[in-house]
Amino acid sequence: MNVTIHNQLSQHPAQAAAHLTPEVWAQANRLLLRKAIAEYAHELILEPEHLHATTGGFALYQVRSDDGKVCYQFEAQQLALRHWFIQPESIRRLVEGPSNRSTRCNSSSNAVSGLVFVTSCCPSTSTRSAARYSAARSNA
């Protein structure tokens, strides 16, 4: 790190995060979530459910939380070698509505968070992923 920048940040530590506006933070979380879903799907930790084809070679997929009350829907393309290309702007967080069907959250709750995703959709993945990985390796 540049010594001048280090000295400036040492004297004014609040400036280190001055660029993190709510919009920038929301975009950072959306990109983190895109990466997490793509990696977990690639490694067979999660199995996104195909809902239907969309346009341009994409399809709508969803991943449900372990308790089934929250799901994340997104448009993606499955590429070679189980790689995923997810459109970050398509990621939506849905919560079970009062009539026991999934409805979209209001905008304040609909902000996606990488931490919330991992804690709601991935808490039991370590045992599931080990079994899926072993099964995939034996079938390859």
Say if CB 87 and CB 73 are below 8 A apart.
no
Buried b (16+ CB within 10 A) or exposed e, 61-89: bebbbeeeebbbbbbbebeeeeebebebe
Q: What is the CATH number of domain 20-139?
A: 3.30.310.280
Q: Which two tokens stand for residue 100?
A: 């026991």
Q: Residue 40: which of 5, 76, 13 has the closest Cα?
A: 76
φ and ψ of 48, to 5 deg: -60, 140
pTM of the model: 0.71
Predicted local distance difference test score (pLDDT) of residue 41: 95
pLDDT in tens, 15-67: 778 888 889 999 999 999 999 999 999 999 999 999 999 999 999 999 998 88
Predicted local distance difference test score (pLDDT) of residue 47: 93
| DSSP string across 80-131 | GGG-EEE-GGG-EEEEE-TTSSEEEPPHHHH---HHHHHHHHSTTHHHHHHH
Going from the C-alpha of 52 to that of each of 39, 66, 73, 105, the distances in angstroms are 21, 22, 11, 21
Predicted local distance difference test score (pLDDT) of residue 124: 62
Which is more confident, 63 or 6?
63
CA atoms within 13 A on the CB side of 45: 16
pLDDT over 90 (residue 139):
no
pLDDT in tens, 82-125: 999 999 999 999 987 655 444 444 333 567 888 888 888 876 65
The domain segmentation of the chain, as residue ranges, is: 20-139
| H or E, element range at 63 | strand 59-64
